[in-house]
Structure 1
């Protein structure tokens, strides 16, 4: 795979007659707008207000759209291209989309939190619509005809007589280098030709044919291969290492040691692996027992100091309940389980560093790498290339830092750095363990009178921004300390994400116990705290429905005022064939769950059927039926892909996954010690029913399914065996023990 095609201003100017891509973060402009009381620009236009930050038209009529968000497998490359094509009135295939690149695209921070559509999609939609209007105005000026007599079609402006001016003919230098307005003349959904259509995803063909699809596939001329020897445990220090045997091995170009950072570079990949093994044998490390051994998350988390905050409190003393239920739910530390170990390619030439990486935040990672290397920010460029697996903060940023540090001492030649499987499993930042404690009382007529919810959790993001977030920077002879862990603020939150119930209860108290001390390295894993909080809330709702002797679906609807929430619940139940007093097949169970992601993004309800082998305890999701409301749908197939993937991934977390460690080392370092869902356990069927909301804002949907899937599976297991399991994962042994208890 050659280096990805890149565009720059010099090449554009040499071509002549093109719109120049130049963007500003717009900090001053935003401040000026705020002081003037002007309405804010939609989506990420608020941060990068110039239209040519998002849309470029060349003199030959070719069109490029830009996004600061990264394609992670969620399908945004296709969806964002559809949005731009729709508003510009051009065929989908005629438009090119450039994703996250610190030289070319706006700074949209991290691709995280299901924000791509509502931030970048909204920005591109409005920018493209305003570009279309500017082209119409320019054509009106040239043709001397009223703008209302003109229309756009297939990359041209057409007048009533059929005269056409192409977009390329209309563009002029800096025509689009203007700041976006706060409102746009968007196309009516009834006129859509590209949006709301199931266009095949552009990122799939290379992935399924073995083509060059990932950063792991990059091959550049003269490229070297590198491997890092990681410490065996957190806090281990390299006391001695005889590097001479490795340095004499065939193909070895250099052995690099900087404090506890140890790496080898070779001409070929397998040569680097062999040399890495030699270095690992020669390395002597001083270790210390600093982990809490493998214990119940209740013991680990609730025994640590915490900063406690009440994030919701409602009181109505006149309302009291007669029957009370209490329950505690736990989630272990969990891995991203990336199928391909983290990888990056870096090249240091003429004082400039370029890194190809699957980081989810090219701008924050650039800042961290520049600090680590002591380089000016403008001398470091990060280009996003997809990685083979990950939603969240895995080893991608660390691999980018490894590659950059190694390349900095070997100027001129590109260096490809890839982690080994055991390094990925042992050193990536895990999804944090969590504990939730719930208590509720139910009135005689079957309504919840009082709801109390507490959650204990570490931070859910230690993403780069500063160099201290990078392993390479932490392991250098002059280390940069890791930043202080902090909670993520509401309304989106981190450990408290979705801790506030969307249901209406007269008496409610929600407490977040933020634990700054982190026994294991942790950061963002898809859906953050929402996965466990929704699992807890929706499991407890099912338990309370039993206390109230009420059908679980009816019980949820009884406590919901949001009509869109009610719609997805009713759609999922109807499509599943859910009925009151239903009886599943022998050794099968039915479960239901619902959530609105972060209480402000997409809505999702899932009904599940799970089969349980009572002899072995093995549970398997047989079928799942989901209903989703994500606002205006751009690509129905892409949205269905996301929900199907969320259900399968959540099934794996819920039934199999748990990080294992002793008092010194992470011990779940391969697929045997950290099992994930295998092909022979996938569901027989997954149905996803979409509720379209034409003209409504895009609602983030990439992470909406994780929590409801987990809870619906757990509820179905409880329905199948007649026993409630509250500790994740719901392993065979736990289910078998519950059956035999």
Structure 2
């Protein structure tokens, strides 16, 4: 990664001018070219393109013939860069190597909010597809005008427009003559015929994987700038603790290389010449501070018992028919209750940020999932105008959700303002990352259902209890950790995104009578978005319950789900999983469990199976293999879909078998990989993913589809192996003995 400091004199206009690019407009008609097929069945432009309809918001033609694609989304390891490059290269008949993808940056890329909800393919990639198709048509019209021929006689290849063999091809840059395509993308847009695709649907390799494997500079943690200094923040012992006393003079005398101490209310930071000095100074500062003692956290009782005593607000998510018959249970009624604890992101690389204040503009390099929302939140926290903040997205090492990225950016910003004209690098420690990140909320779920004589579900009632599943900054400074400790502090909002809690709470099955209720509490720990939000807990409960019902109905678990399915695509996914599992053999104390969901009930279809072996003497569970069949609509890069599904299954299995945030009366006590264990390499099972490609369907988000069904598949497999039904996560060996 090039580590040249950002030059504040290089504005966007000057940057474009330096490439010989001015901005002018061209007319855009709907003249098709020979290879075009009719417009896809779209009544409107893709979501992000509606907000930013100009071609030059998405594409820039560079002087060397390449095309730069601008995206407001972040690369989180999902392969966003290569998928977007494939789409752009396809519509513009470029080589993939000729497409450069520029990630989220304020003042530079479209404002696409957060990279979340598995929406990047549906919104961003499709916006780029339409913008590239419109750009192709505009470029063909320019060439047709220059040669005085019709566009249907022209073709494109490798950044050039071709006509007669006797004519020298025209490059995109020559056609634009230093300009960009400024006009808006308007329907109808003629897209390339799928029969002519060279890249879309193909497993094009990601170049960034090699950088990661070889530990080459790639992540924000790798950024190094000339003259860079290092910083740390001295954390309080508990969430609500306030700084009462700091013996600054004594402290300063003991820290070599100390450049500045920054104290603002209860926010205490220090800046040193090198990182080792910053770490040692952070440890030493703990001996020179005194904090208030806040109200203790609950302890000495099971977490679920405490959460059940908290006040709640409620809403009905879905109601169909009548379920009052469940108030009078019969022999055909079955009830069960499930629980998931607080879980953490557990990013492999602790959160990191670099900030530089040049006296006019504050530049922040960050692995946030939303550069524009973070800019707005920082603007409020710092009392600066948004245009005085420049937020640059850089991939971070390991996260799928809202970890400490926004918080560490706020830390670095505060310290950079206090120490201008020097890049200030701040990386959290492992202890800080574990203890202070926002966690995935604890949840408990209660389900009850009636079966008729044929084994069909006639009535279904489901309730879930949860804290918020997203407190991203979103322009709200109170959701930044540092903002709560400033002298002019910002209050934490009382609630976040409630919709995340009941994500996938409605079963994706044909049930004539059902009722789904959600209940919200405010728990003791800081929470926010963790991969799939409430879908993990809800699908774990629903698909475990479906397995229990299938057992009571004496039905095969896949056939039982097929009995209650009306969507042909969900049925095809289940049947394909059934086919994949048919040859599998089981030894003693082994079992195979299955589960299914459609993410958010509108996105990808995913069926998962897990094979486990349970030692009945020790209660140890070995996860032997996992399978998934996924239908994510049109597949841009099948390797990307497979990688996301594989990673989702393994992560969810680790959550299910191992992960639980623990705390004492003061604060979170899970502060390392021993107190918060995750899968080690030797525990990762063999994984197999089958992708059902539907090139004539819209692409669907796949990054979070496997989380819920993977959890249920694992516990359903445990039941098949040893007869013990796990409803309380994580799986405890003592229960399985």
Distance across 2 between alignment mates of 1:75 and 1:183: 29
Report the secondary structure of 2:398's partner residue: coil
Cα offset, 1:303, TM superposition: 1.8
In the alignment, which residue of structure 1 is the partner of 2:38?
A: none
Q: Answer yes or no: is 1:299 the counterpart of 2:305.
A: yes
Distance across 2 between alignment mates of 1:246 and 1:382: 33
Distance across 2 between alignment mates of 1:639 and 1:339: 22
Q: CA RMSD in A?
A: 1.9
Distance across 1 between alignment mates of 2:154 and 2:5: 36
Aligned to 2:286, which of 280, 291, 305?
Answer: 280
Aligned to 2:377, which of 368, 384, 389?
Answer: 368
Given that 2:307 and 2:523 are in contact with CA atoms closer than 8 Å, whether structure 1 keeps it comes out as no
Aligned to 1:680, which of 679, 682, 704?
Answer: 682
In the alignment, which residue of structure 2 is the partner of 1:73?
A: 77
Given that 1:367 and 1:377 are in contact with CA atoms closer than 8 Å, whether structure 2 keeps it comes out as yes
Cα offset, 1:243, TM superposition: 2.1
Query: Which stretch of structure 1 is more off in the superposition, 293-302 or 395-404?
Result: 293-302
| Residues 673-714 of structure 1: CA deviation (Å, up to 9, x unaligned) | 11111112111x211001000132110000000001100001
Classify 1:412/1:20 alpha carbon distance in 2 versus 1 (closer, same or farther; 3 Å).
farther
Cα offset, 1:160, TM superposition: 4.8
In the alignment, which residue of structure 2 is the partner of 1:3?
A: 3
| Residues 578-600 of structure 1: CA deviation (Å, up to 9, x unaligned) | 79xxx731111110001110001
Residues 12-31 of structure 1: pairs in structure 2 closer than 5 A:
12-17=16-21
Aligned to 1:102, which of 100, 106, 120?
Answer: 106
Distance across 2 between alignment mates of 1:2 and 1:224: 18
Q: Answer yes or no: is 1:471 the counterpart of 2:475.
A: no
Residues 502-521 of structure 1: pairs in structure 2 closer than 5 A:
502-515=508-521, 517-521=522-526
Residues 58-207 of structure 1: pairs in structure 2 closer than 5 A:
58-161=62-165, 163=167, 164-172=169-177, 176-207=181-212
Cα offset, 1:242, TM superposition: 1.0
In the alignment, which residue of structure 2 is the partner of 1:696?
A: 697
Given that 2:503 and 2:533 are in contact with CA atoms closer than 8 Å, whether structure 1 keeps it comes out as yes
Q: Answer yes or no: is 1:228 the counterpart of 2:233.
A: yes
Distance across 2 between alignment mates of 1:629 and 1:5: 43
Classify 1:300/1:182 alpha carbon distance in 2 versus 1 (closer, same or farther; 3 Å).
farther
Residues 643-658 of structure 1: pairs in structure 2 closer than 5 A:
643-658=645-660
Residues 218-257 of structure 1: pairs in structure 2 closer than 5 A:
218-248=223-253, 249-257=255-263
Report the secondary structure of 2:613's partner residue: strand
| Residues 415-442 of structure 1: CA deviation (Å, up to 9, x unaligned) | 0001111111111100000010000011
Aligned to 1:348, which of 340, 346, 357?
Answer: 357
Cα offset, 1:292, TM superposition: 2.2
Given that 1:42 and 1:182 are in contact with CA atoms closer than 8 Å, whether structure 2 keeps it comes out as no
In the alignment, which residue of structure 2 is the partner of 1:314?
A: 320
| Residues 334-364 of structure 1: CA deviation (Å, up to 9, x unaligned) | 1111111111000000321000001111000
Report the secondary structure of 2:500's partner residue: coil
In the alignment, which residue of structure 2 is the partner of 1:559?
A: 564
Cα offset, 1:617, TM superposition: 1.4
Distance across 2 between alignment mates of 1:709 and 1:172: 54
| Residues 127-178 of structure 1: CA deviation (Å, up to 9, x unaligned) | 1111111111111111111111212222111225463221111115655111
Normalising by structure 2, report the TM-score: 0.94
Distance across 1 between alignment mates of 2:324 and 2:670: 52
Cα offset, 1:237, TM superposition: 1.0
Q: Answer yes or no: is 1:260 the counterpart of 2:266.
A: yes
Classify 1:459/1:183 alpha carbon distance in 2 versus 1 (closer, same or farther; 3 Å).
farther
Normalising by structure 1, report the TM-score: 0.93
Report the secondary structure of 2:418's partner residue: coil
Query: Which stretch of structure 1 is more off in the superposition, 437-446 or 657-666?
Result: 657-666
Given that 1:395 and 1:427 are in contact with CA atoms closer than 8 Å, whether structure 2 keeps it comes out as yes
In the alignment, which residue of structure 1 is the partner of 2:543?
A: 538
Distance across 2 between alignment mates of 1:318 and 1:452: 9
Cα offset, 1:732, TM superposition: 2.2
In the alignment, which residue of structure 2 is the partner of 1:725?
A: 726
Cα offset, 1:305, TM superposition: 1.6
Classify 1:266/1:317 alpha carbon distance in 2 versus 1 (closer, same or farther; 3 Å).
closer
Query: Which stretch of structure 1 is more off in the superposition, 152-161 or 499-508?
Result: 152-161
Cα offset, 1:80, TM superposition: 0.9
Distance across 2 between alignment mates of 1:71 and 1:300: 38
Classify 1:39/1:48 alpha carbon distance in 2 versus 1 (closer, same or farther; 3 Å).
same
Residues 546-695 of structure 1: pairs in structure 2 closer than 5 A:
546-577=551-582, 584-683=586-685, 685-695=686-696
| Residues 480-508 of structure 1: CA deviation (Å, up to 9, x unaligned) | 111231344xxxx3000000111010111
Report the secondary structure of 1:203's partner residue: helix
Aligned to 1:49, which of 47, 53, 64?
Answer: 53
Cα offset, 1:15, TM superposition: 3.1
Given that 1:20 and 1:173 are in contact with CA atoms closer than 8 Å, whether structure 2 keeps it comes out as no
Given that 2:614 and 2:622 are in contact with CA atoms closer than 8 Å, whether structure 1 keeps it comes out as yes
Cα offset, 1:60, TM superposition: 3.3
Structure 1: which 5+ runs fail to align? 22-37, 737-741
Report the secondary structure of 2:431's partner residue: helix
Structure 2: which 5+ runs fail to align? 26-41
Distance across 1 between alignment mates of 2:65 and 2:334: 66
Residues 441-520 of structure 1: pairs in structure 2 closer than 5 A:
441-464=450-473, 465-488=475-498, 493-515=499-521, 517-520=522-525
Cα offset, 1:276, TM superposition: 0.8
Given that 1:19 and 1:176 are in contact with CA atoms closer than 8 Å, whether structure 2 keeps it comes out as yes
Distance across 1 between alignment mates of 2:324 and 2:282: 69
Distance across 1 between alignment mates of 2:4 and 2:18: 20
Given that 2:4 and 2:225 are in contact with CA atoms closer than 8 Å, whether structure 1 keeps it comes out as no
Distance across 2 between alignment mates of 1:660 and 1:318: 39
Given that 1:19 and 1:171 are in contact with CA atoms closer than 8 Å, whether structure 2 keeps it comes out as no
Classify 1:182/1:306 alpha carbon distance in 2 versus 1 (closer, same or farther; 3 Å).
farther
Count of residues paired in the alignment:
711
Given that 1:67 and 1:120 are in contact with CA atoms closer than 8 Å, whether structure 2 keeps it comes out as yes
In the alignment, which residue of structure 1 is the partner of 2:33?
A: none
Cα offset, 1:635, TM superposition: 0.8
Cα offset, 1:298, TM superposition: 3.0
